[in-house]
Amino acid sequence: MVAYIEAARNRRTSESSGGVCFTAWKCECAKMRKVVLITGASSGIGLALCKRLLAEDDELHLCLACRNMSKAEAVCAALLASHPTAEVTIVQVDVSNLQSVFRASKELKQRFQRLDCIYLNAGIMPNPQLNIKALFFGLFSRKVIHMFSTAEGLLTQGDKITADGLQEVFETNVFGHFILIRELEPLLCHSDNPSQLIWTSSRNARKSNFSLEDFQHSKGKEPYSSSKYATDLLSVALNRNFNQQGLYSNVACPGTALTNLTYGILPPFIWTLLMPAILLLRFFANAFTLTPYNGTEALVWLFHQKPESLNPLIKYLSATTGFGRNYIMTQKMDLDEDTAEKFYQKLLELEKHIRVTIQKTDNQARLSGSCL
């Protein structure tokens, strides 16, 4: 059930005396308004992004793509209460479950004629472990500022296999979103009016943690860094393959903001104790955006640019000065287009395999059902 309908009914009557019934009004609004889909929209960076976008333009139609429907409904109600002229809808999707991605994609294609922008924001960093030894030695090295800005070498994570037989971090942060894009191509590819893909990447995306031979990072200990580097590669490849069809992709890093991801590294009370030191460090390391609002600076900025004018090889970074001023930085990504294209082809091969497997499973289920 589309969450915004009941709220809209409280604001407008469904009487057709004015010549337009509620259903027709809804369809007309969907055509005129810019439609923005945001994955992981119920908390952290995704939620702050929703608030900032509506604060700047409450004529948008935001579609919240969330796993937890109760949280999404609460967020939807709050957004509508503060922005009564906006349109806010919900679609349930778990990007770590491909069946969920296929169902959501089908629903979105029934609802919308086009999507103007997708924020590919949902992501996980499961069971992060702080490398105390690396932290200790880093404190006394010349790379101390770089270490704190990127967390390079400081974090390792656990990983597991999903029901789809894929590494969880890879499927959630990369492949689930890739399948979502593939399914929604008809809504995105319009050469007369470009659409945007905006990925939440990371300064922690390290080339050294990624391998084409193990692109799911099943053998390593830094799947998060690997997945974010994979995101950067995929964005470059998507531009190469879809720009002529009117689809453009860019990546942004929100910096170090206090969200569920960072609270997984250290509990909230530890971050509170560290805050004076972090605020001091921010005079030397602009990656400490600290709040989700600040972290969305680059993500919101990208939305307002002409996507065809942006450099696909640049990562756009949210940054905050020691005095709390937000601004945008750019960073050339440490990758090459040949590797990006090879990775893209590997994803297409994996997609083909997954589709065949799902089709076989569905056929077996139908046969079993007919025999009962």
Strand runs labelled E in 187-343: 195-200, 247-253, 314-320, 326-332
CA nearest to 115, candidates 166, 187, 33: 187
* Residue 348 main-chain phi, psi, to 5 deg: -65, -40
CA nearest to 37, candidates 114, 100, 98, 110: 114
For the chain, give the number of residues. 372
Q: Are 225 and 207 in contact (CB under 8 A)?
A: no
Catalytic residues: 224
CA nearest to 326, candidates 57, 47, 52, 118: 52
Please, how many CA atoms are within 13 Å of residue 123, restricted to the half-sphere of its CB? Answer: 29
Relative to beta strand 155-156, strand 314-320 is: unpaired
CA dihedral over 193, 299, 264, 167, signed as positive or negative: positive
CA dihedral over 19, 21, 24, 29, signed as positive or negative: positive
* Residue 351 main-chain phi, psi, to 5 deg: -60, -45
Residue listed under structure tokens 């605020």 = 279
CA nearest to 316, candidates 339, 297, 294: 297
Instruction: Dig out the tokens for 228 from the structure.
Output: 């974010």
